[in-house]
């Protein structure tokens, strides 16, 4: 993408690339900050353990 920019050196192209990567990183961090703590619970096996339901026949 930056090769088409005439009159720029490799160092300048690196600076543009570094800034672009920084912007992408900040944007993705902002997206992750918008997530709720419960988002993605369906993707993991271990979920919050609920209280076990007692079966009446076991307590008798």
> pLDDT tens, 23-55?
999 999 999 999 999 998 888 877 566 666 666
Torsion region of 5: left, alpha or beta (phi above 0 gives left; psi -120 to 50 gives alpha): beta
pLDDT score at 19: 97
CB 18 within 8 A of CB 24: no
Q: What's the predicted TM-score (pTM) here?
A: 0.55
């Amino acid at each position: 993408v930056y090769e088409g920019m005439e009159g720029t050196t490799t160092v300048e192209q690196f600076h543009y690339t570094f800034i672009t990567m920084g912007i992408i990183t900040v944007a993705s961090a902002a997206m992750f900050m918008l997530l709720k703590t419960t988002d993605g619970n369906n993707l993991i096996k271990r979920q919050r353990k609920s209280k076990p339901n007692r079966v009446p026949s076991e307590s008798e």
